[in-house]
Every structure is written in structure tokens, then in C-alpha cells.
Structure 1
Amino acid sequence: MQLSPSELILNADGSIYHLNLLPTDIAHIIITVGDPDRVLEVSKHFDSVEIRKGKREFLTHTGRLNGKRLSVISTGIGTDNIDIVLNELDALVNIDFKTRTINQNRIRLQIVRVGTSGAIQKDIPVDSFLMSQYSIGFDGLLHFYKNENNLHSQMEDAFMEQTDWSPSKARPYITEFSKNLGSHFIDNHIRLGFTATSTGFYGPQGRRLRLASSDGEFIQKIGRFSYENRQITNLEMETSGIYALSKLLGHEAVSLNCILANRATGEFSKNPPKSVSDLIQFTLERITKHT
């Protein structure tokens, strides 16, 4: 089947619409970061950089480190942006732009998110690192795609029951990391976590400035949730989308989180740039050594 111009949208130079990239511009190992400024914080460690391209909030650097070709791309904030980034990255490696047809031989990307997050359990220290073994998404993104392999419906039901989840909100969905890719990042410094992905930073995460949250006990409720000895550990805004679309598209993904805040204790990191830099260096060391 040939994809129409309104489905596969290309720029005048043949690059994919939002990311502004050609198929040869990306490596098969991709680090995603939210902040475009963080792309340089990653690529400055590369031995060489061959590609520097950007459009809107999507900035990409591709280069080599210790002989391995890597790409780092900024996604911006939120699963709406993740929907764009994951679909367009997949198109770059699995669709022939000239014929507008899907390739028979599929390429599997390895996607590593390096991001920041806030803990909701008191025992998780600020400035620590966490890898999301599970993610629960409050964004509803997965429900817009055909998905017949939901393995965690009972845990989702338990979450909605325990938290008195409003029927006016999207049904939460639970996904997992790639065990194969995740095994390369197992370390004494890395906690395995259960990450909640919110649709926003303020009300959707139970914060209150001038507007009151619809659920004043949101953080406490999700913090008390328990299912087969699993508890939600932290909040952020991208992981569920990355995990859900990666699984549907056949890619491997892990999300590494630098804990900058603890919502249960009210603490915030005193030196966020150093903590994020340490996580970047750890990630690059593991990628070049094991993937």
C-alpha cells in the first residue's frame, strides 16, 4: 500500500515533516531528551558530530563515540510530542520515502530516554537515578492506536479502583521497558521504578498555583497505590508514550530518570545540572560498552 502525501508528510528536500531528518541522518541507537539545550550536553561527549539539524523543538545531533554511531534528539515536553517523534523515527528506518511503501525488512531502534522526574515516595533520594521498569500513562495516547495485547488490564483496574479514578479522564494504561535493553543499565546506582506519566505539569500532577486541582489528594492517592508489591515511584511526562509506541512499532526502549524533586518530602535538587550531567555520562558509558 502506498502512503498518501497527507499521511506521510515530507519536506521539499525529502526529509520527514517535523523532525526535518533524512533516513541517513539517524543512528539506530537514539537518546531522547526533553530539552533542546540538553542535546548539546549529550553530544559534547561524542568523538565527532556529523549531523546537526533542527526544527521547532526537535533538535538532532548524530555522531560517534568510541566507534559507535549515536543520535540524540530533543522531544520537547509531553506525550503529544512523543507521538510525533516515535512515529517519525520509525518512518525514517522502516518506510521507503521514494515509493511511500513500508519496508519488508524492519529495523529495530534502541531508544534511551534521559530525563528528569519527581519522586512521590519518601525513600527515593533527590539526585538519585531511576529506570522505569513499568509506566502508567494518564495521557490516553495508546487508546488512539489498535492494541490487542494489553497484558496489564487487571493492574489498571486495581489502580482505578484504589485511586477512585474519575470516569471523565482517560483510562490509564500500563506498559513495560525492554528487558533486553534495560539489562545494560542495571547498576547499584539505578533504582527500578514504576513511573507515572502525566498530561501536564501543574494540575495533572496535583500542583496548585492559582487553579485548584480537580483532586486535591492526587499525589497521596497514587502514592498509596499497591499491586503485587508494586508502587508508583515517580512522575514525569513522556515515558508511557515512549514505551507504548515502541512496543507497538517493534522497537526497544528504556527511560532513565534523574530525580530532581521529591513531592512527598518537598525537597528539590540543589544542583540539577550536575545530577543530569552525571546521568548523561552514565548513560553514554553503558551504551558504548554494552549495546
Structure 2
Amino acid sequence: MPLGHSELILNADGSIYHLNLLPEDIAHTIITVGDPERVTEVSNCFDTVEIKKGKREFLTHTGHLNGKRLTVISTGIGTDNIDIVLNELDALANIDFQTRLTKENRIRFKIVRIGTSGAIQPDIPIDSFLMSEFVIGFDGLLYFYKNGQTHFRYLENAFIQQTDWNNHKARPYILKCSSELGVMFNENRIRLGFTATNTGFYGPQGRSLRIEPSPNDFMQRLMAFEYENLKITNLEMETSGIYAMAHLLGHDAISLNCILANRATGKFSNNPSEAIHKLIEYTLNKLTSH
């Protein structure tokens, strides 16, 4: 049955509603960044740029580097935005906008997040690169979809038990990165991580300005969690959503984090722009040399 106009929403020019993109505007290898300004920083490294489109916080550039077509798109902050971006990117590739039916031959994206993050273990250096081999999501996004199941219930249960997780909050879910992309980026320069994604920057990450977080020792509980030598390494706000939607939609996804802060030591990068640019260059080299 064709998708209704209130479900698959298109603009007057036939572009997808939020992203303002047409199917031909995107490549099959997609880089996501949170900050719209970082889109230009990435595309400045391309040999050519053919598409520049934007709407709201969603800025998209598509071009070529070393003969490979790439798209970089800003998601803004949070898994709510990730839900929009990944659903609409998938629709651009895998739904016929004329018939409003799913295409028979599905396209599988390679999705690479280039993001920033704060470490929570003292041995993780500032300005280092961390690949989210595992992610634990506190946002609940996965459970809004059918088949929102994981293979790591035992690990989720261990976390819930060890941290005395409040059952009024969403059940944490744990997912793993794409094995194909994991092999591509796994080398000595990259630290393997177990990333935590939460729904905010202040209370949800244990920060207190004028409102005390609950529990008030949330960071200490995260830092102390350990299961068979697996510890939570860092905190950010998008990775669980990316892994959840890629898992459900059948895409390959990986999250690369530039560690700008260490919550355990209280340190912050002296030159965050340089550190992020090095991660961008590293990522582009990996994507265009395979």
C-alpha cells in the first residue's frame, strides 16, 4: 500500500520534508556531523562539491574526493534529530517518491559519524580518537519501532543492576557498530570504546548548574560500571540513535569521536579545532582509500 501524504511528507519541489533533498542529491557513503559549520569544514577537503542544500539545522554537501562520491550532512544535536535524518536519508534511497512504495532493490548506506565527545575514564587522552565499538543508549529511541531488540540483553541487565537504574527512565539498550566499518577503522591510532548516549548535555550527563541531577552521583555510577573488562568510555548525544536506526533500516554505521574533554580528570583540549580537523582528514582518507 502506498505511503500516505501525512507519512511520507514531500515539499512542493518533490524533496523530502526536513532535509530538503532529492534522491539524486545524496551519495551512498554518508558522513554525519552535529554542527552545520562542520559540514563546510569536511566538504572543503573534497576535490569537487556538486550539491549544497540546507533547511533548519540540516545542511548537506555532496561531492567527490579521490573519485569517490560522498555526502556530509549536519544532524544537529540529539537522537530526536537522528531519527529524522536517518529515516529521511533512507527514504531518499529506498522509497519511490512517485509510487510511494518501497523499492525492491534496497540501497545499503555506509554511515560514518564524525563527532566530539567527553571521556569518563582517566586513562583516555585528550585529543585522541575513539571508535564506538559498543553504545549504550538512554534515550529510548529503539523501542519506538517494531523489532527494536538487541543481542545484548545480558549486558543491559548487568548495567541496570550495577547502576541501580531508575525504572521511571527508558530502559538502556546496547548495540554494536558495523563489523565492516569497524574493520576499516580499527588500527593502533583508534581506541575502541563503549559509548554512552543520553538525551541532554546537563542533568542527563551528570552536570549541575542550578538543578541537581538525579541521581546526583550519576557520573560515578557510569565510571564504576564494568562487565567482563568492558567499561563505559565516553558520553555524547547521537551515537545510540545512529546505531539504532542503522540496525533497523539495514545500513552500516560507525561513530568516530574526537575526545575534547575528560570528565574524570577535568581537562579540556587546548586546540579543539585542530583535533577535530585531524579526525576529519583521517576519516576521509580511510573512506576514499578502500
Tell whether the structures are fold-level matches, with TM greater than 0.5.
yes
Give yes or no for the alignment of 1:267 onto 2:267.
yes
Question: Which letter does structure 1 place at the counterpart of 2:193?
Answer: G
Aligned to 1:50: 50
Question: Which letter does structure 2 place at the counterpart of 1:190?
Answer: I
Give yes or no for the alignment of 1:85 onto 2:108.
no
Q: How does 1:64-213 map to 2 (within 5 A)?
A: 64-147=64-147, 149-213=149-213
Q: CA deviation at 1:215?
A: 1.1
Q: What is the SS of the residue equivalent to 1:84?
A: helix
Question: Which letter does structure 1 place at the counterpart of 2:81?
Answer: N
Cα distance in 1 between the residues matched to 2:194 and 2:150: 17
Q: CA deviation at 1:149?
A: 4.2
Question: Mean Cα displacement is larger for which, 276-285 or 142-151?
Answer: 142-151
Long gaps (5+) in structure 2: none
Give yes or no for the alignment of 1:22 onto 2:55.
no
Identical positions, percent: 70
Cα distance in 1 between the residues matched to 2:13 and 2:118: 41
Q: CA deviation at 1:270?
A: 0.7
Q: What is the SS of the residue equivalent to 2:76?
A: coil
Alignment: residue pair count? 290
Cα distance in 2 between the residues matched to 1:38 and 1:272: 13
Q: What do residues 175-207 of structure 1 show as CA deviations (whole Å, max 9, x unaligned)? A: 110010121111211000000001000000000
Cα distance in 2 between the residues matched to 1:86 and 1:146: 16
Cα distance in 2 between the residues matched to 1:211 and 1:8: 40
Aligned to 2:276: 276
Question: Which letter does structure 1 place at the counterpart of 2:227?
Answer: Y
Aligned-residue RMSD, C-alpha:
0.7
Q: CA deviation at 1:94?
A: 0.3
Aligned to 1:251: 251
Cα distance in 1 between the residues matched to 2:10 and 2:280: 32
Cα distance in 2 between the residues matched to 1:38 and 1:246: 22
Cα distance in 2 between the residues matched to 1:40 and 1:139: 29
Cα distance in 1 between the residues matched to 2:147 and 2:207: 32
Question: Which letter does structure 2 place at the counterpart of 1:91?
Answer: A
Q: What do residues 195-224 of structure 1 show as CA deviations (whole Å, max 9, x unaligned)? A: 000100000000011111111111110111
Question: Which letter does structure 2 place at the counterpart of 1:123?
Answer: D
Cα distance in 1 between the residues matched to 2:29 and 2:128: 24
Cα distance in 2 between the residues matched to 1:184 and 1:109: 15
Q: CA deviation at 1:135?
A: 0.3
Long gaps (5+) in structure 1: none
Cα distance in 1 between the residues matched to 2:149 and 2:165: 23
Cα distance in 2 between the residues matched to 1:94 and 1:130: 31
Aligned to 2:5: 5
Q: What do residues 131-155 of structure 1 show as CA deviations (whole Å, max 9, x unaligned)? A: 0000000000001001264201111
Aligned to 2:36: 36
Cα distance in 2 between the residues matched to 1:18 and 1:161: 39
Q: What is the SS of the residue equivalent to 1:10?
A: coil
Cα distance in 2 between the residues matched to 1:285 and 1:91: 28
Q: CA deviation at 1:243?
A: 0.3
Question: Mean Cα displacement is larger for which, 67-76 or 223-232?
Answer: 223-232
Q: CA deviation at 1:229?
A: 1.4
Question: Which letter does structure 1 place at the counterpart of 2:163?
Answer: T
Q: CA deviation at 1:156?
A: 0.5
Name segments (4+ residues, structure 1) moved above 2 Å: none
Cα distance in 2 between the residues matched to 1:92 and 1:190: 32
Question: Which letter does structure 1 place at the counterpart of 2:38?
Answer: R
Q: What is the SS of the residue equivalent to 2:226?
A: coil
Q: What do residues 158-178 of structure 1 show as CA deviations (whole Å, max 9, x unaligned)? A: 101100100110000001100
User: Normalising by structure 2, what TM-score?
Assistant: 0.99
